Structure 1
Amino acid sequence: MTQLKPHHLKYFTVCLILIFSSIASAELLVAKQKFETENFNTFNGKTIKKVQVGWESYGQLNPQKDNVILVTHYFSASSHAAGKYTKDDPQAGYWDALIGPGKAIDTNRFFVISVDSLANLGAYDPNVITTGPATINPDTGKPYGLDFPVVTIRDFVNIQKLVLESLGIEKLHGVIGASMGSMQAIDWASAYPDWVPRMVSIIGSAQSDAWTTSLLERWAIPIRLDPNWRNGNYYGHTPPTEGLIAALMFITQDALTPMAFNQVGQTASVNHNPLELDPLQSITARYSITNWLRERAQQRAKLSDANHLLYLTRASQLFITGHGANLTSGLQTIQAKTLFIPSGNDLLLMPYLSQEANQALLDLGKVSQLEKLTGDSGHLNGVSGISEKALKIKEFIEQ
């Protein structure tokens, strides 16, 4: 009988995880829950009189309530991390390959929970519950608009903590998040170190440096330049749809790589050519590849709110672990063992951001490690390509 070598055994184990994941995925049906609280105090000292957010859970909370894994979602996502709302849903939650019975984050063992962010981008998605600029201000009876206070990653964390406490949970087994979710995950570890023994940051960052802050600003500019934005007071008027679509086009392209984008350009439905006839004949004509990008942004814009996008952008720009004077002080309070999983070709939250955070923690004597995703999809590797690190994530959270 041929003996399996270690690398063969590891590959075999990954294959088994993926096989059982695909079998189990159809069995995971989930329901959106709602949490409400009053007089929520924000990081910048403002008060939101009434807050409601949606949340989802997968698996069962054990009697000790110590098997909880919090999943903190990325910029354009919601708490729909896994499973389906009905068997007929065409699309499962964004990390369905990772979360479920027998999967890397095994819902036979863990109670997995995720919470919709404040000012969630999908303000008009029927499966999202959020409070933000599009919400009715109880003082005026009209949408908040820009009267809604600026919110931060810490505010998202504090809302999540309230949700957990409402369930009688006093400590996490771990927290894991991608992109904007990674910011929440590491801030959890900094702000509430006694709660977090394990933290996983995927395609993430420990702070928004000068480059990242300026890159994110590109997402806000088209909305502010849209005449229909009306300084945020467009509710009841024509919304700034063109600005929102342009912003979503930037977001989609920033999340990919030239290789991934060029593969789309080579498909039969796009067939990109620098000398396409329509752009050659008219300066107002669009290329086939920009039509492809715009069509996807138009679909996303139907459920999105422009002001909410601005608020999420600002929350991401304001981010520094610990929300203190400097990064070192924020990282110093972390007690969790940490795992960073950047994407090697990420053009949005570039891998150096994870590398710097990992090294800073090591320099502080913390337990930290880093592994890179190697797919071709850039930032999107952290969502569509997460199966590559399924075994590593499983090993880390189960240690």
Structure 2
Amino acid sequence: MRLLTFHRTAARKAAAPPVSTGRMTRRLAAAAIGFLAFAANPAHALDAIVQKQTFTLPSYTTVGGAPLRDVKVGWEAYGTLNADKSNVILITHFFSGTSHAAGKYKPSDAAPGYWDAIIGPGKPLDTDKYYIISSDTLVNLNANDPNVVTTGPASISLETGKPYGPRFPVVTIRDFVNVQKALLDSLGIARLHAVMGPSMGALQVYEWATGYPEVVERAIPVIGAGEADGWLVAWLDVWGSPIRVDPNFNGGDYYGRTPPKQGLAQALKVVTLSAGAYPWANTTFGRKWAEPGKDPALALDNRYAIEAKLDEVAAARADLADANHFLYLVKANQVFAAGGDVGLKRIKAPVLIISSDEDLIFHPAAIQRTADEIRKGGAPVEQVKIGGGRGHLNGIGNIQEAGEAISRFLAQ
């Protein structure tokens, strides 16, 4: 099964020119909310046009027991599926991400998928060896993005002919994984060489390894812990709060009316900042003014550059997102605890945990506690730390720092 064409290119003979401060800022802030991700230029560029496909489940019952009909998610793949379908690596995406992990939908796209730095010929997730598959989750944040296929509150209910709105059932990380499992079943894929994902994607990795241990041969969670602790639950509540106080939210019943765009933009602004780190903020912006001659000390409306940039990026991102989908994702992340009562000790596959000590969302103690719990069940665990000065976003924009460890882990 070949979905993409890859062309090797010669390694660059000279170093790439430095990225300007403004350009880096735009890329970094956007990566936090799934808009763009920036990474170092790879030795072999992924020159490929991605074919987005749709998977449909006629019916699905959520973990909470609610029936859904006509469940749809989008998916894409990179590389070639081998004869015995044993070379599959599943990529699971982050909170505000999509299935678009590598390549481009069209040549004119501004940037490739968020993990293009490690997916492609000669890269750690080598498409000459592996078949890489990725899907949009249920209640995907980017419900208004034409390249996203998802089922959630903004979807039309077959029963009413109207958007579900707040009547859509609560879904969990396990529901995301169950739909992915159904997708793989439809393709005749019974085993995963590995499952790998960042942030909320890491939560899905843990759920795969605990829920389907007979399927997963290797697990690579990136910047994510095995359960939502009190710190994460609180952060997620803070993320969603601006939406709830927007006067247009109307309890989630806003379809056909003015949507809570202002609250959604402010929510995305909070996500962007909390996913970053002070080195990025201070080095890129510091105390620069948003506009020359407008000293923030002289008027309430005069702003700093970092304030203006966060608002600009978040407002643009809100155009593609849906407020209800944001809140449903918040709930799915808050209630997450991999493996239920048995927990992480259910994991049997070898695990490579990639994390960053700069992370303000999944803090180092939560990562270490996760590793310790997995080891109690007897599964081997390797831990790799990455840096980069970008906080949580190190797992998106600096994942190539763990490239050698990933390649070695996948080969063993």
TM norm structure 2: 0.88
SS of the residue 2:244 aligns to: helix
Alignment partner, residue 90 of structure 2: 70
Q: What displacement does 1:272 show?
A: 4.1
Q: What displacement does 1:280 show?
A: 3.0
Question: Within 1, Cα distance between the matches of 2:279 and 2:42?
Answer: 29
Structure 1 residues 376-387: aligned runs within 5 Å: 376-387=389-400
Q: What displacement does 1:340 show?
A: 0.6
Q: What displacement does 1:330 show?
A: 1.8
- Contact 1:21–1:101 at 8 Å: present in 2 too? no
In structure 2, relative to structure 1, the CA distance for the partners of 1:20 and 1:94 (3 Å cut) is closer
Alignment partner, residue 158 of structure 1: 178
Question: Within 2, Cα distance between the matches of 1:279 and 1:389?
Answer: 41
Q: 2:318 aligns with which of 298, 301, 317?
A: 301
1:118 aligns with 2:135: no
Alignment partner, residue 188 of structure 2: 168
- Contact 2:294–2:303 at 8 Å: present in 1 too? no
Alignment partner, residue 27 of structure 2: none
Q: What displacement does 1:30 show?
A: 1.1
- Contact 2:44–2:120 at 8 Å: present in 1 too? no
SS of the residue 2:112 aligns to: coil
SS of the residue 2:138 aligns to: coil
Paired amino acid for 1:381: N
Q: 2:377 aligns with which of 364, 367, 375?
A: 364
- Contact 1:203–1:351 at 8 Å: present in 2 too? no
Structure 1 residues 250-399: aligned runs within 5 Å: 250-266=270-286, 271-272=288-289, 277=294, 279-322=296-339, 324-325=340-341, 329-399=342-412
Q: What displacement does 1:276 show?
A: 8.2
Structure 2 runs not aligned, ≥5 long: 1-14, 16-38
Paired amino acid for 2:243: I
In structure 2, relative to structure 1, the CA distance for the partners of 1:359 and 1:272 (3 Å cut) is farther
Alignment partner, residue 5 of structure 2: none
Q: What displacement does 1:277 show?
A: 4.1
Q: What displacement does 1:153 show?
A: 0.2
Paired amino acid for 2:109: D
Question: Within 2, Cα distance between the matches of 1:240 and 1:281?
Answer: 31
Q: Deviations over 1:315-357 (max 9, x none)?
A: 01010001x23xxx12122110001111110011112222111
- Contact 2:143–2:320 at 8 Å: present in 1 too? yes
Alignment partner, residue 56 of structure 1: 76
Question: Within 2, Cα distance between the matches of 1:276 and 1:167?
Answer: 60
SS of the residue 1:296 aligns to: helix
Q: Deviations over 1:99-155 (max 9, x none)?
A: 111110001110100010101011011110001110011111111000000010000
Question: Within 1, Cα distance between the matches of 2:299 and 2:60?
Answer: 53
- Contact 1:73–1:177 at 8 Å: present in 2 too? yes
- Contact 2:348–2:377 at 8 Å: present in 1 too? no
Paired amino acid for 1:91: A
- Contact 2:44–2:123 at 8 Å: present in 1 too? no
1:129 aligns with 2:146: no
Paired amino acid for 1:129: V
Paired amino acid for 1:397: L
Question: Within 2, Cα distance between the matches of 1:28 and 1:202?
Answer: 25
Q: Deviations over 1:341-384 (max 9, x none)?
A: 11110011112222111111223322111111121100000000
Write 1 or 2 for the structure with the bigger share of helix.
1
Q: What's the C-alpha RMSD, in Å, of the aligned pairs?
A: 1.8
Question: Within 2, Cα distance between the matches of 1:240 and 1:22?
Answer: 43
Q: 1:207 aligns with which of 220, 227, 238?
A: 227
Q: Deviations over 1:183-237 (max 9, x none)?
A: 0001100000000110001001100011110111001111000010010011111
Q: What displacement does 1:287 show?
A: 3.0
Q: What displacement does 1:281 show?
A: 3.7
The number of equivalent residue pairs is: 374
Q: 2:114 aligns with which of 94, 97, 101?
A: 94
Q: What displacement does 1:296 show?
A: 0.4
Question: Within 1, Cα distance between the matches of 2:299 and 2:109?
Answer: 41
Structure 1 runs not aligned, ≥5 long: 1-14
TM norm structure 1: 0.90
SS of the residue 1:237 aligns to: coil
